[in-house]
Amino acid sequence: MRFRKHLELEKGQKEINITPLVDMVFLLLVFFMLTSSFIVMPGIKINLPKAVTSEVIKDKNIIITVNSDNVIYLNEKPISSAELTSHLSEMVKADKEIPLLIKADKNTQLGSVVMVWDICRKVGISQINIATLQEVR
């Protein structure tokens, strides 16, 4: 088998065939699309109310979420009001100055939010914040 030292285009051929290159690009594209994993973040869908005077909180908080169906979640796990009281009591025993953030949907009944607020105050949590969206002035 003899190899040519110099690659020269034949007289009738004026272009290099790029079909194999395009085939490889498509194969790589299909490979990466099939092997990549798409991460879907599970979460509780709530529409926070807007407020002009809201501030950004940077502390690590216990998060209690109340959705529009008045279901209570503690750190994204559904929980009843009795279980919420016992869990918060245990957390307060471990850390007295623990901050708490209540995320309530804007369509939530006020009674549910007040009930959660009362439970938090009853167990001894003094720093309670309510999550809102900052409204552009």
pLDDT at 99: 83
CB 75 within 8 A of CB 42: no
Q: Which residues contact 11 (CB under 8 A, 6 or more apart)?
A: none
Residues paired with 15 in a beta bridge: none
pLDDT at 26: 95
**Domain 50-134 coded CATH 3.40.50.2000:** no
Which of the residues in the chain have pLDDT under 50? none
Q: What is the pTM of this model?
A: 0.60
CA gap 40, 28 in Å, rounded:
24
